[in-house]
Every structure is written in C-alpha cells, then in structure tokens.
Amino acid sequence: MKPETAWKESPPQKNAGGLRRLEALLDFIPFSFNDFDALPSFPKWCWQPRESAAPLFGFGALFGGSLADAQALLSASASGIHAFGGTRFDPASPTSPAWADFPKEFFWIPRWELSPANNGIRAALHLRDGESHDPFVASLFELLNPQDLRQEPSSKQNSPRFAAKNRDDRPAKTAWTALVEAALQKIRNSHLEKAVLARESLLVADTPLPPFAFLQQLAASSSDAFLFGIQPTATSPCFLGATPELLYRRKGKKIESEAIAGTRPRGIDGSEDLLLGNQLLHGKKDRSEHSVVAEFLRTTLSRICSVTPDSPPAPSLLKLARLQHLRTGFEGTLQNGVSDTQILAAIHPTPATCGSPAAPALSFLRENEPFDRGWYSGPIGVVTSDSAEFAVAIRSCLLRGPHLHLYAGAGIVEGSSPAEEWEELENKISAPLLVVKE
C-alpha cells in the first residue's frame, strides 16, 4: 500500500447495524474490464448507466438477499453504497440447471466498489461495525497486483475473440413459425392482445471467453445501452448484456420510465435510415405494439403516483447503433410510502417483455416457450439509500466458459409475420454475434 493513499470515511446514517464506507483514489493502478475478469473474489458485478461512460464494479459480498432487506440495510448505512441485483422474469416458473445460481430475487451489497478514474481506480470499501480497513486494503492491493497491471502485457491489450462451432436455436425456425401462428390464433380467439415470444440461441465456442472482456466488446457495438454483468461464484455462469431499455429510475419520490416497443434496423445511409424511421413512426403494426406498452405504463404509474405522470403526446425514435425503436417517456411523483419492491411488483412484467393482458400472456408463455428465461427480460439494476435504477435485462446472454446462451424476443400482435419476427430476433443478437464469429 502506498503510504500517501488517503482513505476518507463516511459513517453509517444510523449507529446500529449500518455499514461504513471508505473511499480513496488509487491513481497509480490502471483498471479495466479485462482486469476484473482476473479477480478471484466473488460475487462480481458490473453496472454502467445508459447515459454514462463510467462503469461501476463491485465484488465480494457483505450482504445478499431480497431487495427489501438490502434497502433496509442501506437506509442505516453510509450514503453512496450500492446494492446490485435482479429477479427472474417469471418467479413462478421452474428453474433450469443453467440458471441454478440465480435465485428468484437477489441483491448483493459488495465489500468493494471500483470505478475507473483519472487513469486509476476510485475505490470504496464497505465495513461493518468493529472491522478494521487495513487487512481489506492489503488484500485489495494483492488482488490487483499493481506491478503486473502497470506493465500492461500485450494479452490484456488484445480483445479476446472466439469462433462458434455450432448453434442450436430454441425454438428452431420451423417451430418458431408454428409458435407465432399459435399466438396469433390465440389473439384472434381470446382477449389476449399481445404476446412477447422469445428465443434462446445456444452457441459452443472453440475456447472459453472471459465474461467481462466479452461485455466490454459488446459495449463497443452497443451505444446508448445499460451495461450489466453478474457472476455469483467462480463456477457460475455470468449473466451479462447491453440493454437499451430503462424500466424505471427513481430519485427520492421522483420517478421516470419509458415504453420501448416497435423495431426497425438502422439504414446503411441517411436516406434509408430516415425511410426506416418513418415506417416505424407510421406503421400500424408497430404503433399498435407500442401503444399497448405505453398505455400499460401510463395506467400503472397513475396508480402509484400522486398525479397522472407526464408523457409526450406521441412516441419518438430511439436510435441505437444497429436498431431503432419507438419510445415514449414518463415522469411522475410517487405517492408517500411507495417502495421499490412495490414499484417492481406493479410495473414488471410490462407488455414489452410479456404481453397484454399479463395473465393470459404469461399463461401462454409458460405453456409454449421451450426454454427457461431465467433473469433474461427481468428487472436488473442498482439501488442506494435514496435512489434506484432498473433496466430490462434484454439484449443479454448467459456465458459459462465456451457455452453461450443468447436471448432475444419479439412482440406478436395482429399483423405480425413469423418470418419478419425471426429477422427481428436476428437483428437483436447481431451485436454479440459480431464478437462470436459463427
């Protein structure tokens, strides 16, 4: 440890049971996604807001449990501490072996938070009552091994890649066509208005890929996205992704959310991009799909906000690196006493990931989807003592060694075409497929 390193301590907000927080700028240690893969301490997680270029890394666990229990501890602890976690898309559905290390709901408060800053690391250490920071700081320096990091070996500068040896889609294209047609039949013959069908694409690579290095490469081709990754244990798979979709963001009682539904690819030039965007803005099928999500959020937020939330009169275009979507934003003020647990219970799942109405849509998915979604399309994010930010865990994958599970979904409404929806799924996994050369 460098003798000049100064650690600034923030005490708990309440004396009994709260966590302390110590912070320091370690400007002599560079740090990257690749370095995070090398750390042997678990759980490990990463979170980067859509509007930020600075990732937040957390590792080691002082707490793991429900969102409500995590926030109870945070409310007694020093300000600035984050809990990170998420939930299954459908907590009532059976858990497959692939998702065995991801509970129905789980949030971690880390021993350490790290974020790159000024060619070094801004480090935060969290301590319980009576714990000395000295052994933890010594362990951090041993883990980071600054002498090796300063040398920046060439292996760390190269972006690791691998080649896929095979691919197995669940459902396969023929089965997908039958599934979409079954959903359309259900929509015509019942009060089901929309069903969001998903696909799992399994790829096996010629070599294992470090998950957080994979996330860094995914970020390079996924602008305007929330980046996330969580690996619970050394033997667990890592769930990671670059999602464009905010579920909600809360600061105090102020809340914002957004409806994102309706998709087109980006054009190869400005003229084609404008044409595709206009098709999206004025297409009957896309506007119908989007309006279901927007109306759900407007109605749901009105129930938990003190007044009807503000929203624009018409959707706008959210233009991403490879795709563009219809977007409607909402802002409101929560009623007194509404918790994040209550917000999630009210707002998830939205028609953008499940369908509408939710009950028949979920029933259809449970009966017909041929795989376990796990945490895919569930809420994932960070909370502090006075704020929360959750994204929808789409554009995501589960990675363990050479085994990669890619997930994508498409909203099925009257007028949907199985072939066009299959092409939309391909567009939605195009970013990770750039990293994984088929």
What does each C-alpha distance from 388 to 152, 213, 250, 254, 270 come to in angstroms? 36, 26, 5, 10, 37
Residue 141 counted as domain residue:
yes
Same domain (yes/no): 150, 181: no
- Give the confidence band of 151 by pLDDT, cuts at 50, 70, 90: very low
Average pLDDT over residues 11-15: 83
Same domain (yes/no): 130, 172: no
| Entry pTM | 0.94
Q: Helix (H, G, I), strand (E, B), or coil: what is residue 24?
A: strand
N- to C-terminal Cα distance for the chain? 45
Residue 231 counted as domain residue:
no
Residue 1 counted as domain residue:
no
What CATH number is associated with residue 414?
A: 3.60.120.10
Q: 12 burial class (0-12, 13-18, 19+ CB within 10 angstroms)? A: buried
Residue 3 counted as domain residue:
no
Distance of alpha carbon 348 from alpha carbon 266, whole angstroms: 29
Same domain (yes/no): 153, 171: no
Same domain (yes/no): 137, 196: no
Same domain (yes/no): 74, 175: no
Among the residue ranges 207-221, 238-252, 267-281, the one predicted with the least confidence is 207-221
pLDDT tens-digit series, residues 203-213: 998 889 899 99
User: What's the number of domains the chain is made of?
Assistant: 2
Same domain (yes/no): 153, 200: no
Which pLDDT belongs to residue 162? 67
Among the residue ranges 2-11, 55-64, 256-265, the one predicted with the least confidence is 2-11
- Look up the domain containing 183 and give its range: 165-226+236-437
Distance of alpha carbon 6 from alpha carbon 225, whole angstroms: 34
Catalytic positions: 194, 245
pLDDT tens-digit series, residues 317-374: 999 888 899 999 999 999 999 999 999 999 999 999 999 999 999 999 999 999 999 9
